[in-house]
């Protein structure tokens, strides 16, 4: 039997449908149209989610597989996996996409492992190969500065999608999806019992919404110089970002990490100091307005990508820049008086 | 409690170069280090072993020189270590890698708990832990920041996109440890001396009874078609000169654009 359809997993956060679901719907719709196949959505959650789940049809889904049960109120990795596998075996889609969220990253590899399928993590773009309609999955490669195009030899072709990369689908009132109820097995069993949930105490880092991002890499040489970025960020009314190696050196916590498994930022101004510009970091910059790179090595990839590439020693430039900005602030304040 | 910790050898950051002609990785000359996120997994596993008077086994899949990271694991508290090494494993994607680890878990166990790091810094897929659980038919929980034994179950705190959840889990189980959630101890000198003298057996595909169809590049369902360098678009200006000059130029550029 042939495979047919593009499927996405719609995520229930416990209170609402995760916003990233609408990004998957948009890209899923595009792929389904290219293949001239239906777009299916798998939704698992508690009965009270029915209204929101049913409404996924007005965001472009052709079919919504509704699994509504009290036992699905909390996300339990093993139980959710079994239900998704059941649907995939019955429906045999061409493509199955998850978002790279805490749930998507827990589920997709479990499904892939059990069904012995290929899985590509954190994709940032997709193409359909004309000759055989294969899904070309694009993500930063293991190397430093290349993107890889990956295909799966197995079906459904599975990938997780980096949140924030695709724009969300818009609602088209009146458009409806066919609803199919998931047939539950006699018992919904799990080895996991969710005892309690606590919302995030710290607010989401200001980095994500910052208009100015001051980021540092290993080229800064030491934590002392990295710490000066906070002073710079304050003068520019921005937030401090970092590359992965810097976080592992212990100069700063991972809350500040920009990149594949860190945050995505879209500031008006991004300043990168001592950052070589590995793609794993660069993919965390989404539509940045103006990129400034400061590096002793003019050949560094970030220097190639920057609008303004400043060749020089970060040890000299950072203190001087702080001093200049302070002077400017001072003069502005005096003028205002 | 019988615990297995899976540790990945990764090239030291900055030592991997991409061949500009072939776009393949040039790994020669790159030193292998313990994947930094795995340090938190190792520490979580050692603490749980200590508090339960258990046994901790460390495994790595990799070339012979990956034994160095297993010596480190022994020095930090693992009781035994095994290297999974065979040319047939080369080119494995996450499915083929997790298959080999699942065979090791079955051969060296039985284990009640398998602990992995959250993500590797080279591949950054974060898939091997849950895939390993799938091969074994076990449940898995990712991004765990606290784990302890509560009667015959494991009490876990996991991080989610929305916050945290407390979970009671019935073993056997695979978990991945959230970065920075444990404070990794340095290797003790006494244990390091012991570790250096301890045999670290190598297990091959044959030792593990592996099926060839699931191994290495051939057994990997994902294939890299092509790699490419993203195009750089738009205007670009390079500033060079004395530090105070370039800072002045930079500041005037930012002013012109209304960015400061």
pLDDT digits (tens, 9 = 90+) for B86-141: 999 988 999 999 999 999 999 999 999 999 999 998 888 999 999 999 999 999 99
Pick the range with the lowest mean pLDDT from A68-82, A186-200, A203-217, B25-39.
Answer: B25-39
Tokens 């004309």 label which residue?
A: A130
- Cβ contact, residue pair B246, A248, below 8 Å: no
Residue length of chain A: 337
Instruction: Answer whether 0.90 is exceeded by the pTM.
Output: no
Closest A-chain CA to B227: A148
Residues 79-118 of A with CB under 8 A from B: 81, 101-103, 105-114, 116-118
| Cβ-based contacts of A112 with chain B (< 8 Å) | 94-95, 127, 131, 134
CB pair distance less than 8 Å for A191 and B93: no
- The residue to which tokens 């919302």 are assigned: A199
The answer to whether residue B199 neighbours chain A at the CB level (below 8 Å) is no
What is the number of alpha carbons within 13 Å of residue B107 lying toward its C-beta?
A: 20
CB distance from B108 to chain A under 8 Å? no
What are the pLDDT digits (tens) for B185-202?
Answer: 999 899 999 999 999 999
If you ran DSSP here, which 8-state letter would residue A164 be given?
Answer: T
What are the phi and psi torsion angles at A169 (to 5°)?
Answer: -70, 145
DSSP string for chain B: -EEEEE--EEEPTT--EE-TTT--EE-TTPPEEE-HHHHHHHHHHHHHHHHHT-EEEEEEES-GGGHHHHHHHHHTT-SEEEEE--GGGTT--HHHHHHHHHHHHHHH---SEEEEES--TTT----HHHHHHHHHT--EEEEEEEEEEETTEEEEEEE-SSEEEEEEEPSSEEEEEPTTSS-PPPPPHHHHHHHHHS---EE-HHHHT--GGGSTTTT-SEEEEEEEPPPP-S--EEE-S-HHHHHHHHHHHHHHTT--
Distance CA A242, CA A281 (A): 9
In this complex, is the C-beta atom of A77 within 8 Å of any C-beta atom belonging to chain B?
A: yes
Q: Does A117 score more than 90 pLDDT?
A: yes
Percent of chain A with pLDDT over 90: 74
**Residue A334 forms contact with B (CB below 8 Å):** no
Q: What is the DSSP letter of A211?
A: S
**Which range is least confidently modeled, A90-99, A145-154, B158-167?**
A145-154
A193/B135 touch (CB, cutoff 8 Å), yes or no: no
Distance CA A240, CA A210 (A): 9
Among B102, B62, B57, CA closest to B211: B102
Do the beta carbons of residue B178 and residue B143 sit within 8 Å? yes
Query: Does A18 contact B at CB distance below 8 Å?
Result: yes
Picking from A113, A280, A298, the nearest residue to B124 by CB comes out as A280
The three-state secondary structure class of A151 is strand
A262, closest residue in chain B (CA to CA):
B124
CB pairs under 8 A between A and B: 251
Q: Do B224 and A13 touch (CB under 8 A)?
A: no
CA B133 – CA B125 distance, rounded (Å):
16
Phi, psi of B7 (to 5 degrees): -120, 135
C-alpha separations of B199 from B75, B81, B194 in Å = 13, 8, 10
- Percentages helix, strand, coil for chain A, rounded to the nearest 5? 35, 25, 35
Question: Any chain B CB within 8 A of the CB of A125?
Answer: no
CB-nearest to B246 from A236, A269, A310 is A310
Backbone torsions φ then ψ of A326, nearest 5 degrees: -65, -45
* Angle, vertex CA A67, rays to CA A13 and CA A155, nearest 5: 95
Residue with tokens 């012995």: A116
Task: Report ipTM (2 d.p.).
Answer: 0.90
Nearest to A119 among B127, B230, B241 (CB): B127
Residues of B in contact with A144 (CB under 8 A): 16-18
The answer to whether A258 and A241 have CB atoms below 8 angstroms apart is yes
Average pLDDT, chain A: 92
Q: Which two tokens stand for residue B68?
A: 């160095």
Q: Is the pLDDT of residue A77 over 50?
A: yes
Nearest to B140 among A14, A77, A313 (CB): A77
Is A305 in the B-facing interface, judged by CB distances under 8 Å? yes
């Amino acid at each position: 039997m042939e495979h047919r359809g593009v499927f996405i997993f719609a995520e229930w956060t416990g209170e609402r449908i995760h916003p990233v679901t609408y990004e998957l719907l948009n890209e899923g719709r595009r792929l389904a149209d290219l293949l001239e196949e239906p777009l299916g959505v798998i939704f698992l959650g508690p009965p009270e989610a029915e209204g929101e789940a049913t409404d996924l049809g007005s965001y472009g889904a052709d079919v919504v597989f509704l699994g509504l049960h009290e036992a699905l109120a909390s996300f339990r990795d093993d139980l959710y996996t079994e239900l998704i596998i059941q649907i995939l075996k019955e429906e045999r889609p061409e493509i199955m996409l998850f978002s790279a969220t805490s749930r998507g990253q827990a589920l997709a590899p479990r499904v892939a492992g059990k069904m012995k399928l290929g899985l590509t993590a954190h994709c940032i773009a997709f193409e359909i190969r004309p000759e055989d309609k294969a899904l070309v999955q694009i993500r930063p490669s293991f190397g430093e500065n290349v993107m890889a195009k990956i295909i799966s030899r197995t079906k459904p072709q599975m990938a997780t999608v980096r949140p924030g990369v695709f724009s969300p689908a818009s609602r088209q009132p009146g458009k409806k999806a066919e609803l199919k109820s998931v047939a539950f097995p006699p018992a919904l069993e799990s080895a996991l019992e969710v005892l309690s949930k606590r919302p995030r105490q710290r607010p989401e880092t200001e980095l994500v919404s910052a208009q100015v991002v001051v980021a540092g890499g290993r080229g800064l040489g030491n934590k002392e110089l990295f710490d000066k970025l906070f002073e710079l960020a304050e003068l520019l009314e921005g937030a401090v970002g970092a590359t992965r190696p810097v976080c592992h050196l212990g100069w700063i916590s991972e809350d500040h990490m920009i990149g594949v498994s860190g945050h995505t930022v879209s500031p008006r101004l991004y300043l990168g100091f001592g950052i070589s510009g590995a793609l794993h970091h660069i993919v965390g910059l989404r539509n940045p307005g103006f990129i400034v790179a400061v590096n002793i090595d003019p050949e560094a990839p970030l220097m190639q990508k920057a609008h303004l590439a400043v060749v020089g020693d970060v040890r000299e430039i950072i203190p001087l820049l702080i001093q200049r900005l302070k002077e400017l602030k001072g003069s502005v304040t005096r003028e205002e008086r | 409690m019988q615990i297995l910790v899976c540790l990945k050898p990764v090239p030291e950051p900055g030592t991997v170069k991409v061949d500009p002609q072939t776009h393949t990785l040039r790994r020669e000359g790159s030193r292998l280090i313990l994947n930094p996120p795995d340090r938190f997994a190792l520490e979580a596993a050692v603490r749980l072993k200590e508090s339960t008077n258990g046994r901790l086994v460390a495994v790595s899949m990799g070339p012979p020189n990956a034994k160095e990271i297993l010596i480190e694991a022994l020095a930090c508290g693992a009781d035994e270590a095994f290297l999974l090494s065979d040319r047939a494993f080369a080119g494995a994607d996450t499915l083929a890698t997790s298959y080999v680890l699942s065979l090791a878990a079955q051969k060296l166990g039985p284990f009640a708990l398998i602990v992995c790091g959250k993500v590797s810094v080279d591949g950054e897929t974060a898939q091997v832990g849950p895939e390993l659980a799938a091969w074994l038919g076990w449940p898995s929980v990712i991004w765990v920041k606290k784990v302890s034994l509560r009667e015959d179950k494991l009490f876990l705190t996991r991080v989610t996109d929305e916050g945290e959840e407390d979970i009671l889990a019935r073993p056997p189980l695979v978990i991945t440890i959230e970065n920075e959630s444990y404070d990794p101890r340095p290797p003790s000198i006494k244990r390091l001396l012991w570790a250096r003298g301890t045999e670290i057996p190598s297990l091959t595909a044959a030792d593990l009874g592996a099926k060839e169809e699931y191994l290495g590049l051939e057994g990997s369902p994902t294939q890299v078609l092509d790699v490419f360098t993203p195009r750089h678009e738009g205007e670009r200006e390079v500033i060079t000169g004395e530090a105070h000059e370039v800072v002045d130029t930079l500041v005037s550029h930012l002013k012109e654009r209304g960015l400061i």
